[in-house]
Amino acid sequence: MVSHSSEGPHGASGPGSASSAGALPRSALLALWLRASRLGDDDGLARMLRAVQRDDEPHVVSGALGDVRLEDLAGAWAGDTREVVALAPAPGDVTGVPPEAAARATDAGECVVVTASSGSWALVPEVTEFGSDLEPGHLVTWHVTAVGPWSTRVLGALGSLAEAERDLRTALLLATRALDELDVARWRDDAAGAIADLRAGGAPAWQLPSSVAPRAVQVLTQAVRLRAIVDLATADDGGSVNLWQADQRSTALREVDRASRHAVGAATLWIASS
């Protein structure tokens, strides 16, 4: 569910903060805004930059399209994006990622693949942290690589949004069972509150274009929350009695993560009608 908070990206860390657990990935936000039909109208470009950059320093772009600001590249693509998707690869599972960008995208854990009139491109964010725990900062460089035609392969690999939604329901059951068995609230004082926040949280409305279908937003936000819960649950073996139990739980949580990562792609994939 999307929160209707009107607050911007600054202030206390929350779902709109680039550094908070359960925040929407930069790549997913960029993909959603590039597909927005009125990106170039009114203050659309400014809203996109505010949503994608959040509390980061202004993003820059490097690679096949030269060294420019993200603002410049997004402005050039406004109204010209024909296909776009955000993908969340992991070691051993680079489903849908063009091979030209697979290594870098896997290291980053995310990428955007875009087709415009100028060609097809993969954008992978490199995030450098600076500052302190109290005042963290992020420098973000999007590395651009030219890629071949990709949308047919991605569509076949990820399936439909309805399929992703069904897989997420199954994954949620697995995650809930694994968390109950791990009894994280018992062995980590901060876990119960963190999990409750992740289960109830959502993307603030200012981050999302109004043209994105509510069903896609729901699938995306649920997928991101599940991934954050998996990260929390796999930080420790918790209440595992033996190695076999720990391995069974780890296997279940890996499946939850796989379904969640694929759902990010299904929720952000957009192909313009011809």
Residue among 163, 178, 160 nearest 231 (CA):
178
Q: Which residue has the tokens 């690869």?
A: 89
pTM greater than the 0.75 cutoff: yes
pLDDT tens-digit series, residues 116-171: 999 999 999 999 999 888 888 999 999 999 999 999 999 999 989 999 999 988 87
What is the number of alpha carbons within 13 Å of residue 96 lying toward its C-beta? Answer: 30
How many angstroms from the chain centroid is the CA of residue 43?
24
pLDDT of residue 222: 87
Distance CA(108)–CA(54), nearest Å, equals 18
Provide the pLDDT confidence category of residue 16 given band limits of 50, 70 and 90: very low
Question: For position 13, what pLDDT does the model report?
Answer: 38
Half-sphere exposure of 115 (CA within 13 A, CB side): 14
| CB of 70 closer than 8 Å to CB of 126 | no
Most confident among 124-128, 130-134, 182-186, 220-224 (mean pLDDT): 124-128
User: In terms of pLDDT, which residue wins out, 176 or 120?
Assistant: 120
Q: Which of 41-45, 143-147, 244-248 has the highest mean pLDDT?
A: 143-147
CB 98 within 8 A of CB 150: yes
Q: Encode pLDDT of 109-125 as tens digits.
A: 999 999 999 999 999 99
